[in-house]
Amino acid sequence: MRALLTTKTARRALRPVADLIDQRIERRIRQVMGGGEAGLERRVAALSNRQRPLELLLDATGRGTSRLPAQVHLTRVIDELERVTGDREGAQRNVAQAFRLLMALESLGVGRIAGGTMNICGKLSAVPLLDPPNDEVLEIGTLYGMFGAALIRMMERAGRDPRLTIVDPLAGLQLQPGTTEGDDPTGTPVRGAAVRTNLALAGAAGAAARIQQGFSGDPEIRALVGDRAYGVIIVDGDHSAAGVGADLEWAEEIVAPGGIVVLDDFGHAKWPGIKEAFEKHMAGNTRFTFLGQVANSGYLRAR
Ligand SMILES: C[S@@+](CC[C@H](N)C(=O)[O-])C[C@H]1O[C@@H](n2cnc3c(N)ncnc32)[C@H](O)[C@@H]1O
């Protein structure tokens, strides 16, 4: 049969049928391609135009950092949170909720939360999961106060009643010794009014937050702020080794037994002074035990 179909006569007789099949296939391809390569390009352009408004909600424009994590980043932060807190289910839930909260606050607030998306979601997730011994929270270095507002929300979601104290020079821009930080990508000056607006987004606990304008190393500020024992201390002010070392020494004095200290930008290539100060501090006499690292933050618990 095969031999019969491949004879010259058979091929000539079957050619009209083969041509008809070819034409049908070509017509179908043209339909799928929507008019050839040009048509395909038109359709891709139309699709990316439709996607652009969604990207605007999440990309780096006007805040300096993209908020579009890939699945690999989400998986890694959840694994790290599980190692530090022992609660995988809580980590998965909190990361999703923290991510939505970050989008909401940056959409509605003034300025931004500093740092990478997974580092922010990691801190917002870890603090309530680590079950601090009381609800007093101290943030050293707040920039726009938006992280403090977000942390209030995450603590309340865990059934806590957070009371936030903030220390920051609120100097118009981010102050960092040894570096020249330019204008913020948001275009918004760092000032008390911005911090208040953002804290107001966190309801009654945000409005009740104490803001101490000044430097964490200033004895007057220390006397005012050191009036209580804190369940949580976020160290995110002066990022130099000397600055972080001084904040860690102060934290030893004002953290409650069982309290949590978060060292922001821990292991970040741009801020080597943070790990340097941590290593020096941990080599001495300390109440702190290192719990581990999630994204770019280190977690300590006080005895
Ligand atoms: C990285 S930003 C804080 C970001 C904020 N925690 C967040 O998550 O969005 C650092 C802030 O600390 C402030 N700062 C610098 N030196 C400080 C100091 N000695 N005491 C308190 N704040 C300081 C900076 O001006 C800046 O506002």
Q: Could you give the count of Cα atoms lying within 13 Å of 187 in the half-sphere of its Cβ? A: 2
Both tokens of 79, joined, read 């694994």
pLDDT tens for 219-277 read: 999 999 999 999 999 999 999 999 999 999 999 999 999 999 999 999 999 999 999 99
The number of beta carbons lying within 10 Å of the beta carbon of residue 4 is: 8
Q: Which of 142, 167, 225, 297 to mutate to test the pocket of ligand 1 (most atoms within 8 A of CB)?
A: 142
Distance 215 CA to ligand 1 centre (A): 9
Write the CB contacts of 134 (distance below 8 Å, at least 6 apart in sequence). 229, 230, 231, 256, 259
Give the pLDDT score at 2.
61
Q: How far apart are CA 138 and CA 224, in angstroms?
A: 12
Position 35 pLDDT exceeds 70:
no
Quick one: which atom of ligand 1 is closest to the CA of 141? 12
Tokens (6 digits) for 220: 């007057």
Give the confidence band of 32 by pLDDT, cuts at 50, 70, 90: low
Ligand 1 contact via 116 beta carbon (within 6 Å): no
Across the range 179-198, mean pLDDT stands at: 90
> With a 6 A CB cut-off, is 141 part of the ligand 1 pocket?
yes
| pLDDT of res. 54 | 87
